[in-house]
Each structure stands twice: as C-alpha cells, then as structure tokens.
A and B are shown apart, each in its own frame.
Chain A
C-alpha cells in the first residue's frame, strides 16, 4: 500500500509545472499557427518573404496591435470597448486638421493631442459604464455612434489629404530607427508597457481580479470605480494614439476613417487568447492575435484567394479561440480537482 500512497503524492507535486505549460500553450498555439501559415505561403509564393512584404505586414499590424493592447485591458476587466474605431477616426481627423493649420507643430504635440482626445473619450465610456451602471457593450455601442457622429458633423463631407499635412508628419510613420519602422517601435513599446503594467503592477492585477470575479473584487476592497475608468482611459488613449499613427501613415483622412475597425480589434484580442469573460489572457497574446490576423490577410492576398475566405477564416479562428477557452478552463479545473488532496 505504501507504494500506492507515494504515487499519489508524487502526482501532488506536478500541478505547478503542468499548469504553466497549459497556460503557455495558449500563446504557443498562435505562434505555431503563424509559423505554419508563413511557411506555407512562402513555399507557394516566395515574394511573401520579401523585405517589402514583411515591412507592410508589420506596419499594418502596428496600429491594430496598439488598439488591441488597450482592448485587451478592457476585456480582461470583463468589459468591452466598441468605440475604438470611432475614437481612432475622431483622433485621426482632429490631428490631421490641426496639423494642416499648424504646419510647424512637432510630432510630439500630435501624439499628445491624439492621446488626449482618446483619453477623454475613454473617461466618458468608463464613467457611463460605472456610474450609469450600464453594460459596456451598450455604452460603447452608443458612444461608437456618438463619436463617429461628432466626426461627421465636424468634417462634413471634407477630407484632409496627404499634401495638406506637413511633410515631417507623414515622414514619421514611414521612417525607421536602425531599420525598424517607428510605427513598429511604438507598437512594441505599447505592448511592453501595458503588458508590464498588467503583469507586475497592482493596478493590473486588480483589473484581472475584477474580470475574474466582480463580486469578490468589491468585497476585497478594490477601487472598482477608479479601475474601471483606468481601463477605459487606456483603451481610449491607445485608440487616440492609433488615430495619430493612422493619419501619419495614410495622410488622407476623412470622417469615415477607421469605420468598423473595432471588430478587427476585438477579433485580434479574442484570437490572441484573452478570455471574453474576463480574468485571463495577456497583452502580448493580443499583439500576436493582431499579427496573426494581418498575416492571414496578406497571405490570402498573395495566394490570390478570395476575400470571402479571409472573413470566413477569421470567423472560424474566433470560434476556435472561444472554444479553446472553455476547453482549457474545463481541463484545468479537472486536472486540478484530481490533484488537490492535501493534509
């Protein structure tokens, strides 16, 4: 009998390691999918790996990843922010218009302006969600239309074109630092910064806690109001930043810029392994999700496959990601229940 008992105890010691494995698996899955996709496409179309093509993919990913980082924070908190596309549009149009009229304004000012507009939009979202006690889905669906409407009424049918904004503003998005595009550097910095905040700082852990069990978070004395505002401000500010990058990259901006972008952002976050019911997932996972979606888009274009398939594949990926969420959760629960004997 003593043999059997030791065996049971040996099992006892494993969960730590095996669990870390399961958790890592989530992001590993995306990495593997990426590698497979890139390899397959490159074999069929060698120009897929040309430096211009890679550069395009990274530039296209950058803005999506910035917004996805912010969205991940909100989703982890068990909310959602559907207004990011409209905030991006508002910020892009505002910044482009201001730059058009003040040709000497430095880039830093443009960035600050975009961040500020986004932050204000985020405050409004967060305040409505928390103090209005309305689900974020409803609130941000409303502000999505409101912010877009604001941009339309400001812009009228006008647009700001690339030759109306200062050269240095356009150059920013298309220039490099040591061969790496600025846009990519900014995206990486955002992912790293937000990632570290969520992983290593109290505020981040509290946001995870709020998403994991809102009721327990209240009982634990977590400042729900402040944290909800912080989450939406981060998402809004990053959408605002995204607007500046968008204007700088494309130069031509009108009231419809970024229309429908929010769904791509949500898709990137979900595919990146952030649980839709809050409490788990990582920022860098969301970044990977953005990369994967962009790579799929480019790969299908390079392979000359119908646009329709792109949407179908993204849809399938989302279903897969949500399914995997449930599966992993159930499996963790089971493997742990099996091993939780003590004394």
Chain B
C-alpha cells in the first residue's frame, strides 16, 4: 500500500464545532471539533465506545447534538433528519447494515433517489444499470436483481458502499466500511474512494486497522472516552503515536502468541462437499492448535466451518470430533460435544438486541447456570462480569440492553458469550472484526492462552497480520477448494495471498 500525500487547504466543506451528545447518563461525545476538507480523507480513530459512530450519526442527521454546531460551507446547519443531511450532499455508510431485505439489490442502492421515466415511474432498467456500473467499479459480481436478504456480510457491506457512491455526494462518511472485507476488496474500495477524493469530495473514514488509515488518509482525529485528543496530519504521526494517544498508554506487543506443542487430533474433517459452495475439504485440528482459514471473501471459508458446526448442511463427507462422528445439521449436538461457533453475522446470529448484556453473555448456558430450573441473577451476573472485564467491554451497567452498546462492544459481548461456554474447540469467524487495537491484542492473548490450556481454535480471518501472527497452521481456500496448507514457518504474506488468488500479487 502506498501513502498518498496530496493535501489541500481552503475552507472546510463540513466542520464539527464543539459538539456534545449524551444518552441518559452516558456522555458519548464531549466537546469535539474537527474540519473535513475537500480533496482530503480524514480518519477518525478511537477505542470501542470512544464516540466515533455517535459523531457519524450527528453528521448524518440521525442524532441532534446536545450542544455545539455543524457547519457546512461556512454556514451553521441543523440536520433534522437523514433526509436533510442527504440534501446537503452527505452520504453515509453506517457501521450496522441498513439494507431492505425484501427489496432487490438494485433497489436498495437506488432507494431515495431512484431514476424515473417520463411518466414518473421507477426506471428499473437504468436503476439496474447504475447498480451494475457501481459493482463493476468496485470489481465485484453481485446480481442486482436478487433480494438483499441472504447476502453475506461482505456483500452487504459492498452494497452499502455502492449505495453511498451512487449519490455523488460531496462528503462521504464511512463508519468501518472495511470491517467485513479482505485485502483485495479493501484495495478496490480505496481506489474508488481515492478518485472521489481527488475529484474534490471530502472523506471521513473510520477503521480500527491502522495500515488502512495510513494508506488512505491525510488527516486524523483521535478520540478517547468521547473527548477530542488531537487532529493532526497523518504524515506527522507514527502509528505508535496514534495508538498511544488513542489508548492513553503504551501498548505491549500486538501478537503475543505462545508456543504450544500440539496434542491429539480433536477434529477430523474428511471430504466435506457442498454443491456450489465447497468441494472435498479435508483437514485436521489438534488440541492446543490455532488453525486459520484464509482466503478471499466468498471463497467458502465461513461456509465450511458452518457446515462443520452443523448450522449449514453438506452433501457428503464426514466430521469427526474426539473420535465420534458429528451428525450433520445438528448444532445442538455439536455444542453438547464441546464445539462453539462465533458466527460471522454477529448482529443477526449472535445477539438478542433487546436483552441485557448479562443475559446475552449467559444465554447459551442458561441450562448449566440454572438451579432447580431457575436462573438466579447472581450467578449470571458474576459470569458476565468476569468475561466482559477480560474483554475490556465498555458499558454503563450489565443490565443495559445490548442494542445500546457501540459496535465493537457488541462484538465483545458475542465473544464473551461463547468463550464463557468453555468449549474444547472454538470456531471463530473474524475474531477481531470491529475491535480496537488495545482489545485486539487482548483477544489474541486470550485465544493464545486458551490454546495453551489445550483448547483447539479454528479461526476464519480476512486480516493477514492476524492470520500470520496467531496461526500455527494456515489453510487457504479458493473458490470452494482447499488449495494450500501452510505451516507457521511457511506462511508469509506472499505465500498466503498467492494461494488465495491463484496468481502472483502485483502490488
């Protein structure tokens, strides 16, 4: 990745001036100011719960600041609704997906400003063409006519991106658009965003991956606990500086992987196939081992592990766990046998948004925690407390609804929920998606120490540094086939990418 050094000055397209926002007792944002300039990409960084998404929602007209002002083109503006912000030329990609599951992909992209025919009817043909043009620009193949329901997380993310790009906005705000994407898709997104930026749009970009920030952004605003820490040129700061200011202390090594001698084979997958998804997948996992499944988005990584766990069906092959065959399509049996799966789609498959944090953490084990069939608040609370503390989850009270947590903190609750079951084999799909640097190291340390205690871990990850740093072995999938198995020593950025793409990377 290369660093862009184009900078511009002149008046800000959009300016945040001393804004604050509280939710009840939680002061999410306090006195934050920064400018967004035309032709510049501006990063907003901070730990989970620092208040980044709250800023986004104020700029988008979803929340109104309690105090402070927003200024567009030098004029004070009040956005009463998302429609107002849209009218002011602000396009937003929210952290959580905002698609209409029943409508077609093309319609999702066009919603709000659909092209019309002379009779003021929806012009489906041009709507479809727009979607196809945007997908071509992003280098993906998604059928514009299919409904949005059932899209993978990555594809949902891409549709969100296409939706934001379709409005030809002057200000493009992206709240963790890359969280679900792998390197190749991120690069494509960046090249599109760079050209928008060079055409004079102002970009605001949020990510927990610092290499993305240095690759795309010229300016960065750092937040901590809802407060503004600094706004600087990216070139004037090292990544370590950014992290230090964001966390407020020095961070130790990012990937403290412990060396573990692998034990007995716990999981044997043989000849697993599912028509049109993956074919003839065989591998073993030993106790104490961390095995990573790498590959491009859509290569079938998640699908394989979902089939192993029994969420998805498979056509042929066997899954043997601790010497016993696991029945297909029976996740409950898999759980009882000692498997746990942290799914890719956490919001939909992992959490009950209206329930409290404590209930969510202990949900899969309600049976084990209940005495005489009743759940006692005390046990539940202690369990939940210990796991959420280990994962540095930021929240008001354990009794708060999970839906009010920041995106990253919701992810932590899902992780806590499954780690608390004490599984023998943990399958994690994107273990650190949306999780900030400080906690990321903590999640890795936790996984590593659990493995040292004899737990087997299979992780699906799109983040190469994570794969290379954590895995004892890397399995690479491409188009539904297991194309490479690399030992820790063999696994390098080049070797994994080469296997994943089937060709040399020319970057």
A interface residues (Cβ-Cβ under 8 A, vs B):
1, 4-5, 7-8, 11-12, 15-16, 19-20, 200-202, 205-206, 208-209, 211-213, 215-223, 275, 279-280, 329, 332-343
Contact = CB atoms under 8 A, between A and B. Distances in A.
A215 B62 CA distance: 11
A337 B152 contact: yes
Nearest to B122: A200
Contacts of A218: 62, 81-82
A216 B480 contact: no
B349 to A, nearest CB: 12
Contacts of B185: 343
* Main DSSP-derived SS at the A contact region: helix
B422 interface: no
Given A5-B479, A208-B103, A212-B103, A221 B83 contact: yes
Nearest to A11: B276
A343 B184 contact: yes
Interface of B: 60, 62, 81-83, 85-86, 92, 94, 98-103, 107, 111-112, 114, 116, 120-122, 139-143, 145-147, 149-152, 155, 184-185, 274-277, 279, 296-300, 303, 312, 479-481
Contacts, number: 136
30 contacts: A1-B481, A5-B479, A5-B481, A7-B276, A8-B276, A8-B277, A11-B275, A16-B146, A19-B145, A200-B121, A201-B121, A202-B116, A208-B103, A211-B102, A213-B99, A213-B101, A218-B62, A219-B60, A221-B81, A221-B82, A222-B83, A222-B111, A334-B150, A336-B146, A337-B312, A338-B274, A338-B275, A338-B276, A340-B152, A343-B141
Given A4-B279, A202-B116, A343-B298, A15 B82 contact: no
B100 A279 contact: yes
B85, B102, B146, B275 — which one has the most chain A CB atoms within 10 A of its CB? B102
B152, B184, B276, B480 interface centre (most CB from chain A within 10 Å):
B276
Contacts of A219: 60, 62, 82, 92, 94, 98
A8 B479 CA distance: 8
Contact of B150 (A279, A332, A341): A332
A4 B85 CA distance: 48
A102 B377 CA distance: 71
A146 B116 CA distance: 41
A341 B112 contact: no
A279 B101 contact: yes
Nearest to A200: B121
B103 A205 contact: yes
A15 B62 CA distance: 35
Contact of B99 (A5, A216, A343): A216
Given A216-B100, A334-B150, A201 B143 contact: no
A8 B280 CA distance: 13
B277 A338 contact: yes
A208 B85 CA distance: 23
B98 A213 contact: yes
Nearest to A199: B122
A275 B149 CA distance: 15
A341 B111 contact: no
Given A211-B102, A220-B111, 16 more contacts: A8-B277, A15-B143, A200-B122, A201-B121, A202-B120, A209-B100, A212-B102, A219-B98, A221-B112, A279-B101, A280-B102, A334-B150, A336-B147, A340-B142, A342-B140, A343-B185
